C-alpha cells in the first residue's frame, strides 16, 4: 500500500515554514498520542504516520530530497535513525510534558512532594489596608504510620518507562503515584489509603496593602508527601465596603452635598480610614466634582507612596418642600438669570439654538 503524502499527513502545504510545521505536528501528535488513546489502534497508527512525516519534513536535507523525489528520495535504509531522533526530540519532549506533567528527558524518578492546597479568605477593607492576623482551620492529612511495602509495579522506582519506537518515555507509576511504595491495604487506621485526615490551625499574617486576587504562600503547609510537603496558597478576597471603592492604591467615595452648600460654598466633613477630615467646598460647586485628599489612600503591598482618597460630591436637589420653602425657592428662581447664574444652561441653549437653525 502506497504511503500518504507527508504534507497531507501533517495538514500543511509545501510552502509551510518549519515553525508552522512544528505547530501542526504538535497539535496532531497530542491528539493521537497512544497514551491518550490506549485502546485505539487506529490512533496509534496515525501517531506513527505523523512521527514519520515530521521526521522527514523537519530535516532540511530530507525535506529537499522528498520535495524532489517523493518517498523514494527518503528511503529509510539510507537515513540515520539516531539523527532523526535528535531532529525532533525537542517537540516530543514538549508533548511528553503536556501529557504527563514532567520532562521527557528526565532520567530518575521525580521527587514526590505533597499536593499544593488553596484556601480563600475574606477580609475587610480596613484589615486589607492596615494588615491583620487571622487563624485558619485547614483540612489536611498525615502519612499513616502503618506498614509500607515496595511497589511491585515499578519496583520502588516511583516511575515506569515506556517504549514508543525509538523513544524511551518515563511517567509516574500509576499504582503508587510516584511513592515507590504502597501501604498495607488491610490497615484499619487508614483503610489502605496510606494517609489519614486531620485539621490544623494556622496563624496567617495578612500583610498591609493586600487586594483581591493576591495570594499568600505558606511553604510546606500543603498536603504531606513522601519527599516533602506541598505549599498552601491563601487567596485573598476583600469584602465590599459601604463607603469606599478601591482602585489600586486609591480610594473613591461619593458625598451628598446640600443644594445651598453647593451654591454658597463652605466646609464639609468626609470620612477616611483614619477618621473624619474637613474639605473646603468653593461656592458654585457642581455635581460630580472631584476633590483629592493626598496621602489618605492605601500603601501598596509591593512598596511605593500611599495613594489618595478622591471625593466625588453629588449635589442633592431638595424634595418634599413645604409651602414656605417652595415660595422661597420660586422667589429665588425669579431672581436669577441664565447668563450670570447658570452659565452651563446658557451655553447649552446657545448651542441648541445654533443646531436647530438647520431645521
Cβ burial 8-46 (10 Å sphere, 16+ → b, else e): ebbebeeebeeeebbebbbebbeebbbeeeeeeeebbeb
CB 146 within 8 A of CB 189: yes
CATH number of 245-355: 2.60.260.20
The maximal CA–CA distance of the chain, rounded, in angstroms, is 108
CATH of 117-238, one of 3.40.630.40, 3.30.70.60, 3.40.190.10, 2.60.260.20: 2.60.260.20
Alpha-carbon distances of 317 from 98, 283, 286, 324, 329, rounded to whole Å: 63, 16, 12, 17, 12
CATH number of 6-100: 1.10.287.110
**Sole residue written with cell 509591593:** 302
Domain positions in the chain are: 6-100, 117-238, 245-355
Angle ∠(182,183,187) on CA atoms, nearest 5: 160
Non-local (6+) Cβ contacts of 202 within 8 A are: 135, 136, 138, 218, 221, 232
* Topology agreement, domain 117-238 and domain 245-355: yes
- Say how far apart CA 94 and CA 76 lie, in whole Å: 26
Task: Give the pTM.
Answer: 0.55
Q: What is the pLDDT along the chain (359 residues), one digit of tens a residue?
A: 467 888 998 999 888 888 888 888 888 888 887 767 777 878 878 888 888 888 889 888 888 888 877 777 776 544 343 333 344 444 444 444 343 334 333 333 344 677 788 888 999 999 999 999 999 888 777 777 777 788 888 887 878 877 665 566 777 787 777 777 787 777 777 776 777 777 888 899 999 999 988 989 998 888 777 677 888 899 999 999 999 999 989 999 999 999 899 999 999 999 999 899 999 999 999 999 999 999 999 999 888 899 999 999 999 988 899 999 999 989 988 888 766 788 888 888 888 888 888 77
Amino acid at each position: 500500500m502506497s504511503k500518504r503524502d507527508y504534507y497531507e499527513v501533517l495538514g500543511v502545504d509545501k510552502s509551510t515554514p518549519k515553525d508552522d510545521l512544528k505547530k501542526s505536528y504538535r497539535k496532531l501528535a497530542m491528539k493521537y498520542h497512544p497514551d491518550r488513546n490506549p485502546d485505539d489502534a487506529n490512533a496509534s497508527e496515525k501517531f506513527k504516520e505523523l512521527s514519520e512525516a515530521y521526521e522527514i519534513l523537519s530535516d532540511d536535507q530530507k525535506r529537499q530530497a522528498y520535495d524532489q523525489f517523493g518517498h523514494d528520495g527518503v528511503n529509510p535504509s539510507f537515513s540515520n535513525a539516531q539523527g532523526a531522533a535528535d531532529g525532533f526530540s525537542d517537540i516530543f519532549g514538549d508533548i511528553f510534558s503536556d501529557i504527563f506533567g514532567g520532562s521527557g528527558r528526565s532520567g530518575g524518578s521525580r521527587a514526590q512532594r505533597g499536593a499544593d492546597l488553596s484556601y480563600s479568605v475574606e477580609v475587610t477593607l480596613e484589615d486589607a489596608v492596615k494588615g491583620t492576623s487571622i487563624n485558619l482551620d485547614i483540612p489536611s492529612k498525615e502519612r499513616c504510620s502503618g506498614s509500607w511495602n515496595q511497589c511491585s509495579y515499578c519496583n520502588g522506582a516511583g516511575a515506569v518507562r515506556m517504549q514508543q519506537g525509538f523513544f524511551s518515555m518515563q511517567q509516574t507509576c500509576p499504582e503508587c503515584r510516584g511513592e515507590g511504595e504502597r501501604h498495607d491495604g488491610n490497615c484499619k487506621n487508614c483503610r489502605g489509603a496510606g494517609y489519614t485526615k486531620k485539621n490544623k490551625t494556622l496563624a496567617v499574617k495578612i500583610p498591609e496593602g493586600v487586594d483581591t486576587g493576591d495570594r499568600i504562600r505558606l511553604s510546606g503547609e500543603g498536603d504531606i508527601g513522601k519527599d516533602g510537603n506541598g505549599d498552601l496558597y491563601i487567596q485573598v478576597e476583600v469584602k465590599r465596603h459601604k463607603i469606599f471603592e478601591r482602585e489600586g492604591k486609591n480610594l473613591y467615595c461619593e458625598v451628598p452635598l446640600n443644594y445651598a452648600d453647593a451654591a454658597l460654598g463652605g466646609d464639609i466633613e468626609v470620612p477616611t480610614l483614619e477618621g473624619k477630615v474637613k474639605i473646603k467646598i468653593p461656592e458654585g460647586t457642581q455635581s460630580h466634582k472631584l476633590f483629592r485628599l493626598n496621602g489618605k489612600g492605601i500603601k501598596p503591598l509591593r512598596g511605593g507612596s500611599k495613594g489618595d482618597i478622591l471625593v466625588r460630591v453629588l449635589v442633592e436637589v431638595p424634595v418634599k418642600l413645604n409651602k414656605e420653602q417652595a415660595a422661597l425657592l420660586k422667589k429665588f428662581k425669579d431672581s436669577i438669570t441664565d447668563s450670570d447664574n447658570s452659565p452651563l444652561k446658557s451655553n447649552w441653549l446657545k448651542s441648541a439654538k445654533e443646531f436647530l437653525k438647520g431645521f
